[in-house]
């Protein structure tokens, strides 16, 4: 008849249990909060808690047979390996495979060689995917979230930046300064990132009037970022110094999209006021206004052909000739 030989308690609901099969008397247990506890079975005591091993419930945990390697998987769409190679019995991350665990909101190629893809999801993560080598996939770091979570006694998820609503990237100056800019849900600031370092960048960009940032763009040269504000203004910021350089004022409502041409001569923008506006890049002066049949919620540019694509609220995509500034084609058919 089976009988209990010891009882150990871990905080939270235990979701997985596994035992080492090499020469170490160790048990690992995981909980629904994403933590993994390591137990010394000889001493019947807790050795270490891997706080935030996963961002959410740990679904499974197994030690590799005969090896000091722990494999875990979680609801954060990640599989991680942990290596026990120290004397204290505390593991270090060995390798991992992960992806978004909530729907992606924006996906774009980064660079001109088609080798990397940037994506932002509702899981509040910005990820880089390598087209040809999975081993190069990575989430762009937001700092030492694990250490901060332990210090503040909270979860890593609570410390993440809000979900990215728009981002823009340009690899032209990747080796010199940050090459990605993002705006976030409900946030009054944009953030720069470095794909080269796979991490959050140097600057938090905020408008002088602290209005919420609704849209972002980077110039073709990679030197300037553009922030579209809820007030209808557009701020141009130097990516090297993080300093504001120019303001484009004219929209009556929140900006929804920004684009620049290939020669840094014109800036294009759409807003909730239902207009597409053209600005002089060097002076910030407004040069043209086009009233669209419906409000545009997103703006994209094809620089080589001087064409603008406006995704409108009437479920149509309208192509605008950037030189003639008129709608040349309408794609309709979506139900919503």
With cut-offs at 50, 70 and 90, classify the pLDDT of residue 155: confident
Q: What is the pLDDT of residue 266?
A: 95
Over range 87-100, report the average pLDDT: 87
CA dist 56 to 11, 241, 242, Å? 14, 37, 35
Q: Which of 29-38, 83-92, 99-108 has the lowest mean pLDDT?
A: 83-92
- Tens-digit pLDDT profile for residues 292-312: 999 999 999 999 989 999 999
Reported for 265-269, long-range contacts at CB under 8 A and 24+ positions apart, including other chains, are 266/322, 267/226, 267/234, 267/236, 268/299, 268/301, 268/308, 268/322, 269/215, 269/228, 269/234, 269/299
Q: What is the pLDDT of residue 175?
A: 92
With cut-offs at 50, 70 and 90, classify the pLDDT of residue 153: confident
Q: Token pair of 35, please?
A: 């933590």
- Tens-digit pLDDT profile for residues 208-236: 888 899 999 999 999 999 999 999 999 99
Q: What is the pLDDT of residue 88?
A: 77
Over range 249-273, report the average pLDDT: 95
Instruction: Compute the distance between CA of residue 176 and CA of residue 276 in angstroms, rounded to an integer.
Output: 33
Report whether pLDDT(336) > 90: no
């Amino acid at each position: 008849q089976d009988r209990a030989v010891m009882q150990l308690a871990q905080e939270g609901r235990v979701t997985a249990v596994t035992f080492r099969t090499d020469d170490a008397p160790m048990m690992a247990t995981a909980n629904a909060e994403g933590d993994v506890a390591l137990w010394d079975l000889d001493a019947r005591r807790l050795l270490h808690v891997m706080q935030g091993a996963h961002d959410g419930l740990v679904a499974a945990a197994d030690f590799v047979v005969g090896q000091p390697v722990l494999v875990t998987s979680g609801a954060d769409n990640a599989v991680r390996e942990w290596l026990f190679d120290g004397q204290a019995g505390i593991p270090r991350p060995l390798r991992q495979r992960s992806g978004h665990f909530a729907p992606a909101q924006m996906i774009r190629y980064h660079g001109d060689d088609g080798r990397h893809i940037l994506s932002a999801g509702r899981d509040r993560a910005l990820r880089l995917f390598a087209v040809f080598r999975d081993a190069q996939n990575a989430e762009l770091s937001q700092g030492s979230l694990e250490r901060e979570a332990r210090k503040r006694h909270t979860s890593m998820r609570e410390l993440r930046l809000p979900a990215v609503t728009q981002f823009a990237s340009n690899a032209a100056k990747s080796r010199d300064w940050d090459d990605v800019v993002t705006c976030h849900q409900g946030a009054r600031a944009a953030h720069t990132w470095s794909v080269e370092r796979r991490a959050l960048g140097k600057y938090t960009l905020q408008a002088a009037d602290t209005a919420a940032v609704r849209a972002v763009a980077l110039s073709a040269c990679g030197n300037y970022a553009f922030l579209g504000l809820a007030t209808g203004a557009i701020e141009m910021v130097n990516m090297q110094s993080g300093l504001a350089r120019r303001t484009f004022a004219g929209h009556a409502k929140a900006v929804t999209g920004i684009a620049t041409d290939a020669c840094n001569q014109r800036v294009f923008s759409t807003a909730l006021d239902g207009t597409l506006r053209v600005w002089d890049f060097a002076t910030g002066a407004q040069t043209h206004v086009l009233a669209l049949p419906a409000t545009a919620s997103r703006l994209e540019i094809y620089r080589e052909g001087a064409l603008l694509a406006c995704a409108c609220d009437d479920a149509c995509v309208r192509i605008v000739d950037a030189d003639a500034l008129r709608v040349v084609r309408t794609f309709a058919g979506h139900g919503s």
